[in-house]
Chain A
Amino acid sequence: MMPRPEKLGDSLIIETINRYVPEVIQTMVGLTATPAQGIENYPQPSILQGVTGSISLSGRANGIVYTAYSESLSKHVAEKILGGSAGDQDISDVVAELTNMIAGNLKSTLCDMGYNCALSIPSVMRGDEITVSAKNATICVANHYAIEGSSDSLRVLVFASLEN
């Protein structure tokens, strides 16, 4: 039996972020990021806390990528990259750039499969209850990444739809 297209999409996205999130964190931050199993059909709207980076995809693939850090994890990562104390602006800048790298690599994978799309400029949100969702998303996936040296994990969510 042929798998349903949206299931192919879910597993493709999880596989892709599981390839790039650890690579980005290892190369730029120098820390290991160990993926959990990954969750398909992730519920939305979802609630995020702390510091969240987001980037939209638009084109034959539409959607949004979120990277969610706790306040302490975002500070840990920013200070590791910058090699010193990091203020709120530094943290936002680091979260935005890491989100850009993860989303950019996901975009490249999608484009090479024929799902051409463009990326927005990254934005960063902070708060104790950030509600996120994406209208008409048929792919809703998330995964947690255990970050070396931190008790908090990085959460990456992708809500998307692929045009046939």
Chain B
Amino acid sequence: MSSPKILSVDDSRMIQALIKKSFADYDVQMVFANNGAEGLDVAAKEMPDVILLDITMPVMDGVECLGKLKADPSLKDIPVIMLTAETGKENVLKIVKMGVRDYIVKPFTEANVIERVSRIVTLKQKAATARAH
């Protein structure tokens, strides 16, 4: 089985650097995009196993990007984890209703990101194994 591919969509080079560092010791492929519009293009091209998606970004924010991902038949099943500093109930309910798989609250630790992504990648691999039998 090939190593899982993670797409990180964030306009912050700091966050991109921290995500990259978090997975430095793991057998994963990392791809990056700087905003929601770029994220859609990279997702279509790379077909990642999981997308880490920031909310507040220029050009296209994470909520609009999530809506477009879920509306695209070829991309809608890619699990999305939102990264957000906005933990208000209304905000969380909105993104959960839109089909986000999980969310990570900023500030976050490396362990937190690894744990959330690993949970999804493991589930996906288990589902793929079950389908193969």
> Do the two chains bind?
yes
Interface residues of A (CB under 8 A from B): 23-24, 27-28, 78, 81-83, 89-90, 93-94, 96-97, 100-105, 107-112, 116, 119, 121-122
Taking CB as reference atom, which chain A residue is nearest B108? A27
What is the bound-complex CA distance between A110 and B14, given in angstroms? 26
New A-B pairs, 5, CB < 8 Å, besides A107-B86, A119-B86: A81-B14, A82-B17, A103-B85, A108-B87, A111-B89
Residues in B with CB closer than 8 Å to A103 are 85
Residues in A with CB closer than 8 Å to B90 are 111, 116
Taking CB as reference atom, which chain B residue is nearest A26? B107
Tell me the B63-96 residues at the A interface (CB within 8 Å).
84-91
Taking CB as reference atom, which chain A residue is nearest B57? A121
Q: Find the residue from B14, B15, B84 having the highest chain A CB count within 10 A.
A: B14
Name the one of A28, A89, A112, A121 contacting B107, with C-beta atoms under 8 angstroms.
A28
What is the bound-complex CA distance between A119 and B12, given in angstroms? 16
B85 touches A112 (CB 8 A): no
A100 touches B85 (CB 8 A): yes
B126 close to A (CB within 8 Å): no
What is the bound-complex CA distance between A93 and B57, given in angstroms? 13
Residues in B with CB closer than 8 Å to A83 are 21
